[in-house]
């Protein structure tokens, strides 16, 4: 049985790196450490990235910076809601 890595950012690599356009921004995209959020490049676009959360497409961002910002905001929002739900149990 293969061991699942704890950091998904190092697990998935781009096998055809030589065919990607070097002026395309961040062609490999972005993946969170737990692997639940990802920003993957859209075919046919040099800078646009699709946001994927738990296997479902969420949003399209114009560039890498916007995609990472969106993911970090959503993670913070999830943590805030989870904390609020856990506090309501005690009230």
Higher pLDDT, 61 or 7: 61
Question: Quick one: which of 70, 17, 8 has its CA closest to 39?
Answer: 70
**pLDDT digit string, tens, across residues 15-29:** 665 555 555 445 578
Q: In angstroms, rounded to a whole number, what is the distance separating the alpha carbons of residues 47 and 68?
A: 13
**pLDDT digit string, tens, across residues 54-76:** 999 999 999 899 999 999 999 99
Q: Taking a C-beta distance cutoff of 8 angstroms, is the pair 73, 32 a contact?
A: no
pTM, full prediction = 0.68
């Amino acid at each position: 049985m293969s061991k699942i890595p704890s950091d998904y950012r190092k697990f998935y690599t781009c096998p055809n790196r030589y065919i990607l356009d070097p002026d395309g921004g961040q062609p490999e995209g972005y993946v969170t450490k737990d692997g639940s959020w990802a920003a993957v490049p859209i075919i046919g676009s040099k800078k646009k990235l699709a946001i994927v959360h738990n296997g479902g497409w969420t949003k399209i961002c114009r560039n890498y910076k916007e995609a990472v910002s969106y993911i970090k905001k959503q993670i913070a929002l999830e943590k805030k809601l989870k904390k609020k739900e856990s506090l309501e149990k005690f009230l």
